[in-house]
Amino acid sequence: MTILGAIADDFTGATDLAGLLARSGVSVSLRLGLPSEPADGLADVEVIALKCRTIPAAEAVAQSRRALDWLRHSGARQFYWKYCSTFDSTPAGNIGPVAEALAAALGADQVIYCPAFPENGRRVFMGNLFVGHQPLAESPMKDHPLTPMTDSDLTRLLAPQLDGAPVGLIDWPTLARGPASVRTELEILAAREIRHIVSDAVSDHDLETLARACRDMVLLSGGSAFAATLPPLWREAGLTGAALPPAVPQDLGSGAIVLSGSCSAMTRAQVAALRPHIAHLKLDPLTLARDGTGAARDWLANHPANQPVMIYATAEPAEVRHAQSALGTAHAGEIVEACLAQLAQDARAEGRARFVVAGGETSGAVAHALGVRRLMIGPEIAPGVPWTFAEDAQGPLALALKSGNFGAESFFSDAFAALDRIA
């Protein structure tokens, strides 16, 4: 029976959410893009991954509304809008506009926003988001190629996305007093007609308090960690079915590839850590714009499928700025994504079945190019990054879609070692 219907704004976010919910002991179904087939209503949670973080707000709203309609038909009774734990967005959206549209469609009076993911160092205190020890705007997120984050105050970040609508705050002292205190604060905010409410949370315990206070709200939003506090509440209410064991892949062969379009600080360290141990190729957006993808495709074709390779556009902030000023921000990103998507298709045609992809937008482009529409959730490699498994015309396929800043420096070798243990 479907309890929760979730919409994620990118593909790594969706696997993060699905992985954490599966870890919380519920059955999760993950679909990439709007499903064409009807829901079967079997899983406790249906997640739809969109690629709508940086598209125009009106398009993001339209896609999310269609996803919501599908999720309502699946029988879901509560809904979750999943965005990045670093609140990746621009003054135009898309966190606020999509939340507003979903709230209107569901008749929700208030929407909670809580991106905190304490296990990965994302904490919200007095409305300010911290990444590790740094305020968001001083963290490496200030240099993100598509969504540079230049303010740390979530209420200030959200207001322009909601045309200046007032944004309230459940602060940490209120949370610390427990769920009843949070509910009272929500009522006070409701009386002031404040519908959009950011919540602090510095620990999983805070997220549990928030979830208990908001358990009856039809729409919640935030990162994966907040969503992962819901299953124990469903269990208390006798709602959940049996958890599924992590999926196990069949016959993957040995062909492996890392494709990285993330320029996040952690991905840069991960690429540097793997480089001495693997055949690798760095893509340059300016060269791609001038000469096309032929040289990169030839390079891949010259490496036998049983030899692991890494192809990356991952670059330092100054290099990214240089490419963006020559090509335009969106175009530079599109050129890289299109090239990595083409290389993913080539790698698959060569028989490679073990894919590690770094970057949310990048993962969307790659999964789309591979024609993958549904993923089974396997074991977690690092918090928020599970192995996932799919089937295409060529047979079984394993994909680890890694969010830019997740995983340890050794993530890429950790991922392949984890797969070797089960495949």
Ligand X SMILES: Nc1ncnc2c1ncn2[C@@H]1O[C@H](COP(=O)(O)OP(=O)(O)O)[C@@H](O)[C@H]1O
Ligand Y SMILES: O=C(O)[C@@H](O)C(=O)COP(=O)(O)O
Q: Which of 17, 48, 320, 372 binds ligand X (CB under 6 A)?
A: 320
Contact 358, 269 (CB under 8 A): no
d(CA 47, CA 311): 29
Question: Residue 214 phi/psi, 5° resolution?
Answer: -110, 15
13 makes contact, choosing from ligand Y, ligand X, none, with CB < 5 to 8 Å by partner type, with ligand Y
Residues 6+ apart with CB under 8 A from 417: none
Find which of ligand X, ligand Y, none residue 333 binds, CB within 5 to 8 Å per kind.
ligand X
Residue 323 binding result from ligand Y, ligand X, none, given CB thresholds of 5 to 8 Å by partner type:
ligand X
Give the residue, chosen from 2, 224, 362, 413, that forms a contact with ligand X under the rule CB under 6 A: 362
Could you give the CA distance from residue 268 to residue 315 in angstroms, rounded to a whole number? Answer: 7
Binding to ligand Y, residues 132-151 (CB under 6 A): none
Q: Which 3 state secondary structure label does DSSP give 402? A: strand
Are 4 and 76 in contact by the 8 Å Cβ rule? The answer is yes
Residue nearest to ligand Y according to CB distances in the complex: 360
Nearer to ligand X, 206 or 361 (CB): 361
Which of 12, 174 has the CB closer to ligand Y?
12
Given candidates 223, 285, 333, 378, which one binds ligand Y under the rule CB under 6 A? Answer: 223
Q: Is 384 in the site for ligand X (CB under 6 A)?
A: no
- Concatenating the DSSP letter of every residue in 79-100 gives EEEE--TT---BTTBSHHHHHH
Judged by CB under 6 A, the residue of 313, 372, 375, 376 near ligand X is 313
The span from the CA of 378 to the CA of 230, in Å, is: 21
Least distance from ligand X to the Cβ atom of residue 251, Å: 29
Partner interacting with residue 93 (select from ligand X, ligand Y, none; CB below 5-8 Å by kind) = none
Q: Which of residues 239-298 bind ligand Y (CB under 6 A)?
A: none
Cβ closest to ligand Y, residue 255 vs residue 404: 404
Smallest gap from Cβ 86 to ligand X, in A, equals 9
Take residue 412 and report the two structure tokens written for it: 């890429």
Taking Cα atoms as reference points, which of 248, 259, 266 lies closest to residue 283? Answer: 259
- How many of the other CB atoms lie within 10 Å of CB of 7? 29
The verdict on 263 binding ligand X (CB under 6 A) reads: yes
Number of residues that bind ligand X (CB under 6 A): 26
CA–CA separation, 140 vs 135, rounded Å?
Answer: 10
Q: Residue 10 in 3-state DSSP? A: coil
CB 213, min distance to ligand X, A: 31
Q: Among residues 60 and 252, whose Cβ is nearest to ligand Y?
A: 60
According to the binding rule CB under 6 A, does residue 16 interact with ligand Y? yes
Q: Residue 195 and residue 113: Cα distance in Å, rounded?
A: 11
Per CB under 6 A, the list member of 5, 168, 384, 407 interacting with ligand Y is: 384
3-state class of 280 per DSSP? strand
Number of other CB atoms surrounding residue 104 within 10 Å: 11
Restricted to residues 385-404, the positions that interact with ligand Y (CB under 6 A) are 403-404
Structure tokens belonging to residue 314? 């991952």
User: In the bound complex, what is the minimum distance in angstroms from residue 404's beta carbon to ligand Y?
Assistant: 4
Binding mask 352-381 for ligand Y (x = CB under 6 A): -------xx---------------------
Q: How many other CB atoms are there within 10 angstroms of residue 369's CB atom?
A: 18
| Binding region for ligand Y (CB under 6 A) out of 79-87, 163-171, 275-283, 328-336 | 79-87
Residue 343 binds ligand X (CB under 6 A):
no
Q: Compute the residue count for the chain.
A: 423
Question: In whole angstroms, what separates CA 15 from the centre of its chain?
Answer: 6
Write down the least CB distance from residue 175 to ligand X, Å.
Answer: 29
Q: Report if residue 336 touches ligand X, rule: CB under 6 A.
A: yes
What are the start-end ranges of the H helices in 237-316?
265-274, 285-291, 294-301
Interface mask toward ligand X for 119-158; x: CB under 6 A = -------------------------xxx------------
Instruction: Give every CB contact of residue 321 below 8 A, 6+ residues apart in sequence.
Output: none
Q: What is the smallest separation between the CB atom of 171 and ligand Y, expressed in angstroms?
A: 22
Rg (CA), the chain: 21
Rounded Cα distance between 261 and 308, Å, is: 18
Q: Is 324 in the site for ligand X (CB under 6 A)?
A: yes
Does position 383 interact with ligand Y (CB under 6 A)? The reply is no
Contact residues toward ligand Y (CB under 6 A) are 10, 12-13, 16, 84-86, 88, 117, 223-224, 359-360, 384, 403-405
